[in-house]
Structure 1
């Protein structure tokens, strides 16, 4: 026994020693990397060209953190406002002669892309050049790049220009075949997030709203591209219909591209525009040099509160809206005497209705003390619109997806499956309604009526919130509600939005309402990552998802993700029906 005790003590001591050694070594590695990164300051040389590449991603909010793991695995996603500020700085920077747009994919939302495009247009007006080169122009990349004075593509490259589309999956037959179904309770004829579980084809109402917002977004594309390329909307629609960019030769012939050349020839053209050998600086390096910040010594502040991601009940982070972090931030903003106004920047499809209502209440209390303005990003729909409805002023981008004022609830049911495989579930309860719901039994009328009553109550609450916030009647809101989705441009016409504009426009309005001219921007929420959360930054944490994608294939993985996302939603939902992805 004494031998085993000594052996155990020896092993434990060795383990602790190894842990300390490796722990200290790991911390030393972090310190060395941090020290190295601080010493490598970006210097913008003369005759520089700003390279705009958005393949690593754009987000409305990329919160800063002192988490040591981010030193090892830095986040490459760029914050939209920092990109905008950097382009504004480049416009006035004598060392920056022009911008070279260099993307394959543009990993940004439609409204984010339009905001960046508009800022590049301002850059051009300052008398500096903008040019673009790509091996592949996806439609979103082409839309962004079309702002350039000249566009170039590799001779064997691709220019994709064919119009916009979206695709929905329907699971009714699948559910009946395998006995696994999603029970659905909803209000809103356009609330089509759950339509795939109810039918095997698209409803006329759903097709109507999809067609409406796709044509609205496509119209924005055509208007901007046409103005930059000197082409009419009729010309562009004909090019899309006839696929007149299917070869690079055709793309040049129909004035969509200036020339099909290789990268070395493109670099010679840039050198000629600069008038010397070009020094290239990436947008991320330019931002890291401090050009993504607007410095101010003003004591007054305007808070920008970011509501970014799906709404789920709980803490939340930079990708998920949780009521805990949002309420904490709102109360902090309310108490801070230096903060004179708040802008809520919404980029969310909504989610758990309870979370949205709790955030809405805190914003209503905040509004009683400070001016409250909303800026809508790519999406401010359903629960995202719910929390925005009470603002004194709502701004949206023309391509913002908003509205979707509707409610639904979904509950998985396995009764068909267990019957098929010979499993029987028996229940024992003290009261008639004690069981509530069983996954293994068909939904009862009593349970359906109970949940239907809850859905109807939340829908009425939602419409009343909007009616009060927008100074409309219940009937007027209900007419544009029913779960229907609108673009920002359409929402201006039906009263859900006040003006089209950017985040900066909303900030300007907030300063006007607060009667201040000099101010600093402060961003919320502040997120504190736990030690366990830090491991999410390590690339190996994504191996599971990548493995599943490889095994299932792209189409089946899309089905898996959609089903998995729905399984995370507890309670009644205020969620937009679409994930729109334009490549």
Structure 2
């Protein structure tokens, strides 16, 4: 009896403790919510800093616990940034924009879209100024749109042209006995080159040089128009590093004035119609978005659905960072069945991935086109599998700096047979049939290579057929611009892989034109699920896995970790961009 009494007392005590903790938790949530409420004050300057990761689509979770507990990864939505700048144009409380960023964590096409929106903002008559202690090239490209550009007296400006680097592992493989067995189609399909050679092939060097020059030229055109410097002079500045000091930057018209941040703040006050003794109110782009300015208000009954396909393509469900055929197919079906949706824009930002998943998405796009118009807008990258799911659209838009094409296929398997021989491991197989198979511990047989090559060729042939049909080209013409080659948006327009250079807004406007509607609003897809169990893996710190890893190993190493993780998760034949690149 005493035992039961103690047991019941313990149970009741536990419930009471949990109840108290729950009440305290609710009070904390309420307090946090009240303390972090943001308002736009009179005479404010909108401050644009893009150190936080910018994604094409970064929907806010409907679950309040995610943000309050700090479980959501820090990110900014490109769509909301552009909408915020558009809203700021007519917001009487916003006097102007200040670009101040320690770096730009966004792709080149994303930066170009933001820059274009700032050009449009300036037509309102409001000012755009920029300040930085140090300008890297991407930050300067964004900042060059400003009416006036300022730099710290002890600062620096990096303006030297674009470059990228590819690592080669062939000698490492020979020394360690760990290698990758490769089967590919496409002389430019250079994702596998590092495992086959110890230096870059001429074909690969030519394609990288070509699209880097194309992107660089787009940057120069924009900078030239804003700064009134000829493209020839800008290349001379880059060749001779004539912007490396504040003095040289002033001399070559890259910046307008050298001053400290407090002096810059005084200039912002004067530009806002204040005196230097008045208080300057600034609001960050993230806070401005949080007040509701990240969306455009419309009561139009008609809708244009924008479906975001961002990340590596992998067979399965998919999420915010991975394009899975299940999520894409469901989004396409839901969009075309949603009341008021008159057309769809598929926003693609992907280097490709699983050929099977790509084809399944392609098929659903074919079915969707039978019901409503479907237009594609390409972001930073829409290559290989990313192009596969775009090629059959009614019309394809890309930005000049988009990386696209890469119509090629490869298969890749790890092999440690030489290493196992060196360290004394012998693997013996027993099987019931004689069909070709593969072992990590044995050299790839000719029979297995032939079977794999057959699969790669079949996928490549299908890929060519999909593109030829979608783009109304002959297979011979498609093959001549395929072979795994990567193109910039400008080059893709020239060879017929896309129809027009333009932003997501341009694609949406054209989709509305196809649907014959003039008054419409945008509805975004997909809706991502919030996985509380996954997000709570970071306890007791209540941080997301991404935040913890970035904090421990740094942003650059985290990007490398993500790349290795995605490669380890690949299954089946891949229609993927030739390489992972980071343009500097």
Bucket of the pairwise TM-score, normalised by the shorter protein: over 0.9
1:71 aligns to 2:68 (yes or no): yes
Superposition deviation, residue 247 in structure 1: 1.3
Superposition deviation, residue 451 in structure 1: 0.7
Which residue of the partner structure matches residue 33 of structure 2? 37
Deviates more, 1:280-289 or 1:459-468: 280-289
Question: What is the distance in 2 between the residues matched to 1:549 and 1:78?
Answer: 22
Question: What is the distance in 1 between the residues matched to 2:329 and 2:178?
Answer: 38
Superposition deviation, residue 297 in structure 1: 1.6
Which residue of the partner structure matches residue 152 of structure 2? 154
Question: What is the distance in 1 between the residues matched to 2:424 and 2:7?
Answer: 51
Q: Is the 2:349–2:381 contact (alpha carbons within 8 Å) kept by the matching residues of 1?
A: yes
Deviates more, 1:423-432 or 1:225-234: 225-234
Question: What is the distance in 1 between the residues matched to 2:73 and 2:317?
Answer: 21
Which residue of the partner structure matches residue 233 of structure 2? 235
Taking structure 1 as reference, are residues 15 and 342 closer, same or farther at Cα in structure 2, changes over 3 Å only? farther
Taking structure 1 as reference, are residues 476 and 150 closer, same or farther at Cα in structure 2, changes over 3 Å only? same
Q: Is the 2:109–2:401 contact (alpha carbons within 8 Å) kept by the matching residues of 1?
A: yes
The within-5 A match list for 1:563-574 is 563-574=564-575
Superposition deviation, residue 148 in structure 1: 0.4
Question: What is the distance in 2 between the residues matched to 1:406 and 1:228?
Answer: 39
2:386 counterpart SS class: helix
Which residue of the partner structure matches residue 128 of structure 2? 130
1:52 aligns to 2:54 (yes or no): no
Superposition deviation, residue 294 in structure 1: 1.1
Q: Provide runs of 4+ in structure 1 moved above 3 Å.
A: 9-24, 38-41, 542-550, 557-565
1:479 counterpart SS class: helix
Which residue of the partner structure matches residue 578 of structure 1? 579
1:486 aligns to 2:476 (yes or no): no
Structure 2 unaligned blocks of 5 or more: none
Cα deviation 1:252-289 (Å, max 9, x = unaligned):
11111112211100001111111113311111111111
Q: Is the 1:151–1:259 contact (alpha carbons within 8 Å) kept by the matching residues of 2?
A: yes
Question: What is the distance in 1 between the residues matched to 2:10 and 2:581?
Answer: 55
**What is the TM-score normalised by the length of structure 1?**
0.93
Taking structure 1 as reference, are residues 377 and 370 closer, same or farther at Cα in structure 2, changes over 3 Å only? same
Question: What is the distance in 2 between the residues matched to 1:479 and 1:216?
Answer: 20
Cα deviation 1:415-458 (Å, max 9, x = unaligned):
11111110100000000027x11101000111101110000000
Question: What is the distance in 2 between the residues matched to 1:92 and 1:544?
Answer: 39
Deviates more, 1:417-426 or 1:252-261: 252-261
Which residue of the partner structure matches residue 138 of structure 2? 140
Cα deviation 1:327-377 (Å, max 9, x = unaligned):
111121232242111000000000111111111111110110010000000
Taking structure 1 as reference, are residues 229 and 325 closer, same or farther at Cα in structure 2, changes over 3 Å only? same
Which residue of the partner structure matches residue 107 of structure 1? 105
Which residue of the partner structure matches residue 180 of structure 2? 182
Instruction: Decide which of 538, 545, 556 is 1:541's aligned counterpart.
Output: 545
Superposition deviation, residue 11 in structure 1: 9.5
Instruction: Decide which of 323, 326, 338 is 1:321's aligned counterpart.
Output: 323
Which residue of the partner structure matches residue 84 of structure 2? 86
**What is the TM-score normalised by the length of structure 2?**
0.93
Cα deviation 1:501-545 (Å, max 9, x = unaligned):
111111111111111112221111111123322236743634774
Instruction: Decide which of 50, 57, 61 is 1:61's aligned counterpart.
Output: 57
Q: Is the 1:139–1:582 contact (alpha carbons within 8 Å) kept by the matching residues of 2?
A: no
Instruction: Decide which of 325, 339, 342 is 2:341's aligned counterpart.
Output: 339
Deviates more, 1:272-281 or 1:526-535: 526-535
Deviates more, 1:470-479 or 1:275-284: 275-284
1:445 aligns to 2:446 (yes or no): yes
Aligned CA RMSD, in angstroms, stands at 2.5
Question: What is the distance in 2 between the residues matched to 1:558 and 1:306?
Answer: 21
Deviates more, 1:38-47 or 1:22-31: 22-31
Taking structure 1 as reference, are residues 548 and 102 closer, same or farther at Cα in structure 2, changes over 3 Å only? closer
Taking structure 1 as reference, are residues 170 and 15 closer, same or farther at Cα in structure 2, changes over 3 Å only? farther
Taking structure 1 as reference, are residues 534 and 15 closer, same or farther at Cα in structure 2, changes over 3 Å only? farther
Taking structure 1 as reference, are residues 21 and 325 closer, same or farther at Cα in structure 2, changes over 3 Å only? farther
What is the aligned length?
A: 575
1:108 counterpart SS class: coil
Taking structure 1 as reference, are residues 334 and 229 closer, same or farther at Cα in structure 2, changes over 3 Å only? same
Question: What is the distance in 2 between the residues matched to 1:530 and 1:13?
Answer: 35
Instruction: Decide which of 338, 352, 355 is 2:354's aligned counterpart.
Output: 352
Question: What is the distance in 2 between the residues matched to 1:279 and 1:98?
Answer: 11
Deviates more, 1:573-582 or 1:122-131: 573-582
Taking structure 1 as reference, are residues 72 and 558 closer, same or farther at Cα in structure 2, changes over 3 Å only? closer
